[in-house]
């Protein structure tokens, strides 16, 4: 292997999301989000956890920013909580909420970190859920107005914008399987949500282009491309169906390729597309963010709407049974780059949950170090093979509220003692610090 292939431009960052880290759910005018409501229902979240306190970043952001800088990070990807900016979902902007993100962004820049802000990482104002949430087309327009408020008030403080985080999860886990807020299980609503999330992205893009702001703007997907379970024709077909249903419905419209035929014709799914929608969704993005954790396998299943079912794979798994499959990332990068050869790509999330044990002030999370190493080696290889990969963001900067898993799964490179909120860097944090500094023996 050659030496250091990540050039000086390569952006090393860490990521979190508002509901997972902020806490302070009713401070400075914030109103409930769908995750506050969903967490309150017994049985939805492991151990009955919720994000009321989370890791209290709302009050501890200065300490966190200092830690990021000490660990050599060059960028922080945070998400803005819609219920802080427009607590009623529509209408008045809450300047106290805006102020938090101004303070956070200023703190980041004062330490030389660049600011990557995601507009929607799943915390929809609960009042909008009461009007149908993402199954209602109006939500896309309310999102546009919220995005405009962010551009107006936070424009000078943000270096890169991401419209949505993983619309796959928002639509399918939120409205199809019901594992995530708002906890609905309804195929039709899920498909409506797919289109309205795509539309919301496009509307925000259109508004952004009118602002004259120069910071790059894109979106973040979690492309899912499972392998076929066997070399049988029908299993190969199943993997194409899986990619179409889980990934292409979000990816292709961004590149003006419409909704995939496997879904519209093969599965008979229709989307509530109105005149002009597809042009709006295809507004050119400046970069694409990719979140990557695992690759599965699928077999053909005639009885399933999406014509495929997951089957077990043989790779070693993380403590939440996600297989460790670094080569899947390479396949995805090539597939996505195939949409546009020049488009800058960022890994906006990658990481794993691990059984972290704090002992004498240290967490020797070697499993996580190995996981990260393997994926960084793939990033290098991808760049070698011509992928326009511009940065890597670890998920997550610190342990946090892992959605339906509550606090039972630790994804951080910083350990959080949930009793005291003390932050303790794990070995993986020190390893990344050195990788960023140029230490490159990660393969
Ligand atoms: C992604 C989410 C992120 C985190 C990781 C583990 O799907 O975007 O918030 O939960 O998974």
Taking only the tens place, the pLDDT of each residue in 182-222 is: 999 999 999 999 999 999 999 999 999 999 999 999 999 99
Kindly give the number of the ligand 1 atom that is closest to the alpha carbon of 411: 6
Q: Which CATH class is domain 2-442?
A: alpha beta
pLDDT band at 7 (very low <50, low <70, confident <90, very high): confident
Q: Any idea which residues carry the catalytic annotation?
A: 166, 349
Centre of ligand 1 from the C-alpha of residue 349, in Å: 8
| DSSP 8-state assignment for residue 360 | T
402 Cβ closer than 6 Å to some ligand 1 atom: yes
Assess contact for 101 and 157: CB atoms under 8 A: yes
Which tokens hold the place of 129? Answer: 């859920």
Domain residue limits, the chain: 2-442
Which pLDDT does position 1 carry in this prediction?
Answer: 42
**Closest Cα partner for 167 from 50, 66, 285, 291?**
291
Rounded distance between C-alpha atoms, residue 53 and residue 46, angstroms: 16
Compute the average pLDDT of residues 254-258. Answer: 98
pLDDT in tens, 329-340: 999 999 999 999
Instruction: Output b/e per residue, 84-119; b: 16+ Cβ within 10 A.
Output: bbbbebeeebbeebbebbeebbebbeebebbbbbbb
Give the residue, out of 57, 78, 163, 169, with the most ligand 1 atoms within 8 A of its beta carbon, to mutate for a pocket test. Answer: 169
pLDDT at 128 over 90: yes
- The mean of the pLDDT values for the chain is 97
**Burial letters 217-256, b for 16+ CB under 10 A, else e:** bbbbbbbbbbbbbeeeeebbbbbbbbbbbbbbbbbbbbbe
Q: What would you measure as the largest C-alpha separation in the chain, in angstroms?
A: 62
164 in ligand 1 pocket by Cβ < 6 Å? no
Q: Give 31-48 pLDDT, tens digit per residue.
A: 999 999 999 999 999 999
pLDDT digits (tens, 9 = 90+) for 384-412: 999 999 999 999 999 999 999 999 999 99
């Amino acid at each position: 292997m050659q030496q250091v292939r990540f050039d000086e431009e390569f952006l090393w960052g860490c990521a979190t999301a508002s509901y997972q880290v902020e806490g302070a759910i009713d401070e400075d005018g914030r109103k409930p989000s769908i995750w506050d409501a969903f967490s309150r229902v017994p049985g939805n979240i492991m151990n009955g956890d919720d994000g009321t306190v989370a890791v209290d970043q709302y009050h501890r952001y200065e300490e966190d920013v200092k830690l990021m800088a000490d660990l050599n990070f060059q960028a922080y990807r945070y998400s803005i909580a819609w219920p802080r900016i427009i607590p009623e979902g529509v209408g008045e902007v809450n300047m106290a909420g805006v102020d938090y993100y101004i303070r956070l962004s200023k703190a980041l820049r004062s330490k030389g970190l660049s600011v990557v802000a995601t507009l929607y990482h799943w915390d929809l104002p609960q009042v909008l859920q009461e009007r149908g949430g993402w199954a209602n087309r109006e939500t896309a327009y309310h999102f546009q107005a919220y995005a405009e408020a962010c551009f107006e008030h936070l424009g000078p403080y943000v270096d890169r914008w991401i419209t949505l985080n993983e619309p796959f999860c928002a639509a399918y886990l939120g409205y199809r399987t019901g594992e995530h807020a708002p906890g609905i299980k309804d195929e039709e609503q899920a498909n409506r949500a797919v289109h309205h999330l795509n539309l919301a992205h496009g509307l925000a893009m259109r508004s952004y282009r009118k602002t004259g702001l120069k910071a790059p703007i894109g979106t973040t997907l979690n492309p899912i491309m499972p392998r076929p379970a066997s070399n049988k024709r029908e299993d190969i077909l199943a993997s194409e169906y899986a990619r179409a249903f889980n990934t292409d419905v979000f990816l292709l419209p961004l590149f003006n390729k419409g909704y995939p035929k496997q879904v519209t014709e093969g599965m008979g799914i229709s989307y509530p597309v109105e005149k002009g929608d597809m042009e709006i969704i295809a507004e050119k993005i400046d970069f694409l963010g990719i979140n990557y954790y695992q690759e599965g396998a699928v077999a053909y299943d005639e009885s399933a709407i999406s014509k495929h079912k997951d089957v077990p794979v043989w790779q070693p798994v993380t403590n939440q049974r996600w297989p460790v499959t670094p080569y899947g990332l390479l396949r995805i990068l090539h597939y996505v780059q195939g949409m546009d050869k020049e488009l800058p790509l960022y890994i906006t999330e990658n990481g794993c949950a691990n059984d972290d044990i704090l002992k004498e002030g240290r967490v020797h999370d070697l499993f996580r170090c190995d996981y990260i190493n393997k994926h960084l080696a793939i990033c290098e290889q991808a760049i070698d093979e011509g992928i326009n990969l511009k940065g890597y963001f670890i998920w997550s900067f610190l342990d946090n509220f892992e959605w339906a898993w509550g606090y039972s799964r630790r994804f951080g490179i910083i350990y959080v003692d949930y009793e005291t909120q003390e932050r303790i860097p794990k070995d993986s944090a020190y390893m990344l610090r050195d990788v960023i500094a140029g230490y490159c023996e990660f393969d």
